[in-house]
Amino acid sequence: MRGMRMLLLIAALLVPADRATAQTPFSGVTETAVTNGRQFKGQVTLTVDGKPVGKRFVLRLPTAGAPGWNGDLVIGAHGGSGGNNFDRAGNVIGTDETALDDVIGQHALARGFAYASFDREGAISAPGGLQLTYEFTDLAKAEVARLGGRLPSRVYLVGLSMGGGITRLAAEDPRKVFAGTLIVAGAGGDLVTRLNRMMRMSVGWPLVDPRAHIGMSASNPRMTAYAEAVGTPVEARRLWPYTGSGAVAAYARPQVATEETTGRIQVPTLEVVGTWDDLVIREVRAYGARVEPRASHRLYQVEGAWHMSGDDDGVMSFQYIAESRMKLDKDVADAMGEGPSYLPTVREAFGYLVRWVEKGTPAPASQTIAPGARLK
């Protein structure tokens, strides 16, 4: 009997660690086949305020064969602070770990990249979001290695809106965690410009609010002054109420201390933004004017595009919030969905970023283009 117990003990010690004692940060994982690859979804344990917290994640690997996995990984950083996504009627249609699927997730997988993202739900600051993103990236790299047989050769970060602000901080980090970064309608461009915009909006919005000034001419000096304050043309005024309606109250609240970006990027960084994006356009342009080294940065502006691309299903959450929660006119929500797409430019820019990182070929110069036009 004693000899039998000894044999069992030895057998237990010989069981591979991943089957016996290894702890994994991923749980409740389900695997499904998707177009161009395999998808893994579940919970990942990350650290928030020193405590382990479960976050939703998605990870996809290309299937064998053409194109197969190219050995690289793309991390997606969603906008906002995370949680549910809605259709225009307020029905939940998803959560934020898949929020960038339309923007870059599906595109990256189809071109042979592994792709991973997680829902930062509850993380409301860019620095805090960056630390979570770093932690998730390390775990995603290890999981890709386990599933794909080797560590990713390079990791790229693509971020939208607040996720773009996180990506901006990562681009400036001397540790160079990511080989290259792509910022889409990104926050955090320039603190001084943002504060100036907020102040001018708080003064100017009551003078142009369509609810109080029905039929105001587009050439009215108050209208043109407000356009200058937010950085978009007067033709974009149907969209202004989304940010303008809360401008007075927002500026009256005590301003939360915000860390200014340095403007010193460490890796090739490309930005895409719409010229009608009154949420961030002035700050993005200000960042482009002060970034160093200028040779490592590109800014592509898409004429007439708003903060969310009209063909991104994420725009529906904005429409729901505008119409149902903020009680804005239906026309504001309509305008959000009618805008042109910047997604072709995002995907083209990503291709140029990869070529820049891998082959040393600089991306096309900063430029403003029509929707759907090719970069030159």
Q: Say if residue 88 is exposed, middle or buried (CB neighbours under 10 Å; 0-12, 13-18, 19+).
A: buried
Predicted local confidence at residue 23, as pLDDT: 65
List, for residues 78-125, the tens digit of each pLDDT value. 999 899 999 999 999 999 999 999 999 999 999 999 999 999 998 778
Predicted local confidence at residue 6, as pLDDT: 39
Q: Is 332 left (phi over 0), alpha (psi -120 to 50) or beta?
A: alpha
CA–centroid distance for 243 within its chain? 19
- Per-residue pLDDT averaged across 221-246, rounded? 97
List, for residues 149-197, the tens digit of each pLDDT value. 999 999 999 999 999 999 999 999 999 999 999 999 999 999 999 999 9
For strands 51-62 and 72-77, give the pairing. unpaired
pTM greater than 0.75 (yes/no) = yes
Burial annotation 310-320 (CB, 10 A radius, 16+ → b, else e): bebbbbbbbbb
322, 336 in Cβ contact below 8 A? yes
Predicted local confidence at residue 71, as pLDDT: 97
**Pick from 134, 158, 16, 136: nearest CA to 74:** 158
Has residue 3 got a pLDDT over 50?
A: no
Predicted local confidence at residue 197, as pLDDT: 96
Q: What is the mean pLDDT of the chain?
A: 92
226, 207 in Cβ contact below 8 A? yes
Cα–Cα distance measured from residue 114 to residue 61, given in angstroms and rounded to the nearest whole number: 5
Superfamily of domain 26-190+260-369: Alpha/Beta hydrolase fold, catalytic domain (3.40.50.1820)
* Banded model confidence at residue 252, pLDDT cuts 50, 70, 90: confident
Residue type present at position 369: I
| 164, two tokens | 């773009």
- Per-residue pLDDT averaged across 332-344, rounded? 97
Predicted local confidence at residue 123, as pLDDT: 74
**Domain ranges (residues) in the chain:** 26-190+260-369, 192-252
* Banded model confidence at residue 257, pLDDT cuts 50, 70, 90: low
- Per-residue pLDDT averaged across 251-278, rounded? 89
